[in-house]
Amino acid sequence: MKYIFILGHNPKLSIAEILAVLPQATIIEETASFLIVENKEFDGAEMLRRLGGTVKLGEIIGTQISKKVTVEHLKEIKAKTKLNFGLSYYDCKPDNLGMEIKKELKDSGVSCRLVTGKDQALSSVIVAKNKCEEFLILGKKWLGKTCAVQEFEDYSLRDYGRPRRDLKSGMMPPKLAKIMINLAQAPAGATILDPFCGSGTVLQEGLLLGHEMIGSDNSDKAISDTKSNLEWLRVNSRLEVINAKIYKTDVRQIAKTVGKVDAIVTEPYLGPALRGKEKIHEIKRIIEELSELYETAFSEFRKVLNYHGRIVIIFPAFRIGSETLELPILEKIKKLGFTQVNKEKLIYSRPGQAVWRQIYVYQA
């Protein structure tokens, strides 16, 4: 079965996640907009709920753009009222196919509405709210049909609807937390540690994926925020039990508190909030302090991580003009016995950000 994944804002990261979840998949075509793979059959809606970096998921229904195939698919749908359908174009320009399909359907007695948007691809919001049967035109080469779109309302609720949010120390988006957990490739029900748990985003997403979670932080506020947010999650989700343990401890002492774990997924302290006017020597001082923290953390991780377990961790990358300054500790981590799994840089960023999140995957 050929499946289409419409990628998020950070396509390399989205693809890395997909291949971590579907390691047996064969890549058919890869662009900055979409990924087509061959894989054994799975439930599309269930798969998309598992992924954080994929916007839409669909199935290939043709190797050429065909009005006939599209019309036949739409005629098979038994709409209770008017049939809503739409076309999204990726890596190609829109054409008049939508209007041609609409005319043929109406001539056949099918009451229908062509759903359009301001962009050449329909957003997940438009597809969901219009209950739209969406067809994907991919590079004028592949014809696909959407089977699921990202649950944007659920993500928004878990991001902005929680009782505790710490804007000062920074917030990890739930989608990114889910991506990182998937990159860990931990087995179902694995024990995952976040030793910089903050307000509990990684714990939250891990619990929803069925893992046992352990969170720790050296901040009283972080511990309080995490407990409040996980209780909110219990009340507002399908989870009957919150299978998580929370400890107040410094990462430098984590091995004295936590037993063995299957994976570590975390965003450590990324440094103080920047004003945007810092000199290079100021950034280098921050990098020196952070390097010491990260090195010590990896030394502790070595003591608690099971053999072959993975660490998925964010390093800050500081943007100063056209220059990027990173933590110079990769060789030191290697000497501690960890192997870097990701072969290319995985960046999570937005335009204009002074500090990029650079994701590393290590294996013990």
**Least confident interval from 105-119, 208-222, 269-283:** 269-283
Average of per-residue pLDDT across 284-309:
97
Flag whether pLDDT at 124 surpasses 70.
yes
Contact (Cβ atoms closer than 8 angstroms) between residue 115 and residue 85: yes
**Region 187-214 average pLDDT:** 96
Percent of the chain with pLDDT over 70: 99
Mean pLDDT over the full length of the chain: 94
pLDDT for position 167? 65
Residue carrying the six token digits 């061959």: 38
pLDDT score for 186 = 97
- Residue 196 clears pLDDT 90, i.e. is over it: yes
What are the tens digits of pLDDT across the range 55-107?
Answer: 999 999 999 999 999 999 999 887 777 899 999 999 999 999 999 999 999 99
Q: Please report the pLDDT score of residue 349 as a whole number.
A: 85
pLDDT tens digit string along 256-290?
A: 999 999 999 999 999 998 877 888 899 999 999 99
User: In this structure, is the dihedral angle defined by the CA atoms of residues 141, 147, 153 and 154, taken in order, positive or negative?
Assistant: negative
User: What is the arithmetic mean of pLDDT over 226-237?
Assistant: 94
pLDDT above 70 for 200: yes
Reported as a single tens digit per residue, the pLDDT across 15-26 is 999 999 999 999
The 8 Å CB, 24+ separation contacts for 92-98 are: 92/137, 92/138, 92/139, 92/140, 93/120, 94/120, 97/65, 97/67, 97/70, 97/137
Calculate mean pLDDT across residues 176-198: 97
Q: Going along the chain, which residue ranges are E strands?
A: 2-7, 26-30, 34-38, 54-62, 83-90, 112-114, 133-138, 142-149, 191-194, 212-217, 244-248, 261-266, 305-320, 323-326, 339-340, 346-348, 355-363
- Residue 169 scores a pLDDT above 70: no
Give me the domains of the chain, ranges plus CATH numbers.
2-150 (3.30.2130), 154-363 (3.40.50.150)
Please determine, for residue 363, whether its predicted confidence score (pLDDT) is greater than 80.
yes
Q: Which pLDDT score is estimated for 170?
A: 61
With bands split at pLDDT 50, 70 and 90, how would you rate the model's confidence at 130? very high
pLDDT for res 273: 85
Give the closest residue to 57 by CA, choosing from 66, 65, 47, 67: 47
SS3 of 288-321: the string is HHHHHHHHHHHHHHHHHEEEEEEEEEEEEEEEEC
Please check the confidence at residue 37 and state whether its pLDDT lies above 80.
yes
Residue 34 is predicted with a pLDDT of 98
